[in-house]
Amino acid sequence: MAQLIYGVIRDNGDGSATMVWFRSQDVAELASDKEEYGISEGIASELSFPDSLDLESCGFSFSDDSVEEDEDFDEEFDDDDNGW
């Protein structure tokens, strides 16, 4: 099987945007509904990699743990974490 990861575009609030990566499609879809991801039309990218590839050692970081379905989402997301 392959590893699937999902990218969502995040509005940085200064006219720039960042791709944020998630391992879970459900969490990526939840994130795309949040206000700071408002420029996104849902999941912007879905990538597939071999299971044997260590994505973290390739430079990916994942924001799945930062997204929650409660009001504290904005405080819990680290603005310095751009998903890479």
Along the 84 residues of the chain, how does pLDDT read in single tens digits?
Answer: 799 999 988 888 888 888 889 999 988 888 887 766 656 666 778 999 999 999 999 999 998 887 754 445 444 444 555 554
pLDDT, position 73: 47
Q: Which amino acid is at 70?
A: D
Distance separating alpha carbons of residues 83 and 40, to the nearest angstrom: 15
pLDDT, position 50: 97
pLDDT, position 80: 54
pLDDT, position 52: 96
| Closest residue by Cα to residue 35 from 60, 57, 10 | 10
Give the Å distances, CA to CA, from 39 to 8, 13, 17, 53, 68. Answer: 9, 11, 9, 31, 19
φ/ψ of residue 27, rounded to 5: -70, -40
pLDDT, position 82: 53
